């Protein structure tokens, strides 16, 4: 069993990109809990942040200067409860998330807001739960960006790009549960998984996926590639709800051009895409992850029957292998088990 440690990312200029180092714990404050982390995830954003991506924006959140402990998700058991925390006790099995910070979840213990934590279903393993919150909440924010809700999705045609990945597979499952007809663009080897997850149609991402799709969709979601954003907008019908993308150039543009020129350039690009929306459609969203109570409540409601495949599960000392798994685009989510 590990002592109290964390996996620090030392930055792209460092010969050794990561180091396991002692963790200084503090008692949870008002509205906070401390969790002993059984499992945490490595998402594409962690790999990008380890390369310095988004540094200007993350510095605003005191999360942009190396060394950084990365990671947003965790599953484990509560070790301490701060003042004014109701309905959670020491020993409870929980899972949840943290916003971007310099002391993320790749550690044996994390402090999180009690409001960002859900009780874990006894039927689910920490590894299965620790890969859900960050991806689910971002996916949910994207759905909301299109205007789709549990109340209006039934019978609507929705197009999901990047469906073989984490956000895409979660979107397929949630939209199918909401009664939408989901067309999923994904790699051919994931099509049977996508159909079993609830997709009505699966389109091969490798062979000109937009060529055979006409403009009949109520909402389109881009979890794959900015290059395809206009093609997805072109699949919306007149009077559609809207489009949202998690793959947009905002952070990279601000990194490259600075705050003012970056913001102006981003607005210009965004306006150009918004103008491509069909008549009667007004929603066009660039999704940015943030903790969101409504999304977490929805995750709590579906967490016992929603899943992502795990492709890699390693100890904290082997954490760099989990980053390599994501960087190399290998299948399945990457999990770190800090308590092993
Ligand atoms: N804005 C935010 O706050 C936010 C938050 C979370 C995630 N994201 C971004 O959202 C995207 C989805 O996240 P995720 O965790 O689901 O990532 P993921 O698991 O890597 O899934 C992305 C999927 O899209 C596929 N893809 C990439 N480029 C493609 C292309 N040109 N044509 C067809 N398919 C393509 C990928 O295939 P390969 O694996 O073969 O490349 C993969 O199956 C990522 O880019 C992530 O960085 C943004």
Pocket of ligand 1 (CB under 6 A): 43-45, 135, 138, 162, 164-168, 205, 223-225, 246-247, 287-289, 329
Distance 282 CA to ligand 1 centre (A): 25
Q: Which of 75, 16, 9, 6 is nearest to 41 (CA)?
A: 75
At 293, the pLDDT band (50, 70, 90 cuts) reads very high
Helix, strand, coil percent content, the chain, rounded in steps of 5: 30, 25, 40
How does strand 73-81 pair with strand 93-97? Answer: antiparallel
Distance 222 CA to ligand 1 centre (A): 9
Question: What is the best residue among 131, 162, 332 to mutate for testing ligand 1's pocket, by most ligand atoms within 8 Å of CB?
Answer: 162
Interval 274-298 mean pLDDT: 98
Interval 227-250 mean pLDDT: 98
At 13, the pLDDT band (50, 70, 90 cuts) reads confident
CATH assignment of 5-132+308-337? Answer: 3.90.180.10
**Sequence spans of domains, the chain:** 5-132+308-337, 134-286
Q: What is the pLDDT of residue 276?
A: 98
Distance 164 CA to ligand 1 centre (A): 9
Q: What is the pLDDT of residue 45?
A: 98
- Name the residue at shortest CA distance from atom 43 of ligand 1: 165
- Positive or negative, the CA dihedral 326, 330, 336, 340 is negative
At 14, the pLDDT band (50, 70, 90 cuts) reads confident
Locate the ligand 1 atom nearest the alpha carbon of residue 166 and give its number: 16
At 15, the pLDDT band (50, 70, 90 cuts) reads confident
CATH assignment of 134-286? Answer: 3.40.50.720
> Is pTM, for the whole model, over 0.85?
yes
Helical ranges in the chain per DSSP H = 44-50, 55-60, 126-129, 133-146, 166-177, 191-196, 229-233, 250-257, 259-274, 293-302, 319-327
Question: What is the best residue among 142, 246, 251 to mutate for testing ligand 1's pocket, by most ligand atoms within 8 Å of CB?
Answer: 246
């Amino acid at each position: 069993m590990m002592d109290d440690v964390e996996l620090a990312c030392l930055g792209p200029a460092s010969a050794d990109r990561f180091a396991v180092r002692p963790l200084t714990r503090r008692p949870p404050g008002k509205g906070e809990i401390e969790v002993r982390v059984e499992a945490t995830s490595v998402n594409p954003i962690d790999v990008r942040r380890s390369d310095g991506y988004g540094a200007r924006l993350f510095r605003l959140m005191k999360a942009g200067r190396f060394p950084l402990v990365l990671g947003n998700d965790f599953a484990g058991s509560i070790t301490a409860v701060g003042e004014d925390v109701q309905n959670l006790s020491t020993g409870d099995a929980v899972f949840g998330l943290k916003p971007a910070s310099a002391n993320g979840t790749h550690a044996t213990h994390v402090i999180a807001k009690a409001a960002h934590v859900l009780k874990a279903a006894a039927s689910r393993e920490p590894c299965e739960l620790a890969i859900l919150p960050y991806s689910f909440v971002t996916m949910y924010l994207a759905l909301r960006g299109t205007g789709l809700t549990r109340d209006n999705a039934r019978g609507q045609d929705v197009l999901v790009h990047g469906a073989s990945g984490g956000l895409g597979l979660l979107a397929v499952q949630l939209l199918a549960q909401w009664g939408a007809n989901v067309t999923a663009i994904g790699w051919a080897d994931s099509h049977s998984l996508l159909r079993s997850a609830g997709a009505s149609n699966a389109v091969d991402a490798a062979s000109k996926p937009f060529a055979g799709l006409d403009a009949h969709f109520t909402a389109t979601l881009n979890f794959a590639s900015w290059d395809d954003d206009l093609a997805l907008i072109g699949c919306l019908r007149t009077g559609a709800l809207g489009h949202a993308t998690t793959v947009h150039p905002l952070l990279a543009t601000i990194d490259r051009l600075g705050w003012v020129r970056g913001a102006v350039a981003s607005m210009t690009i965004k306006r150009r895409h918004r103008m491509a929306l069909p008549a009667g459609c007004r929603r066009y969203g660039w999704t940015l992850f943030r903790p969101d109570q409504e999304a977490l409540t929805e995750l709590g409601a579906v967490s016992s029957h929603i899943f992502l495949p795990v492709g890699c599960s390693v100890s904290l000392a082997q954490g760099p292998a989990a980053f390599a798994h994501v960087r190399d685009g290998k299948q399945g989510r990457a999990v770190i088990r800090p308590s092993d």
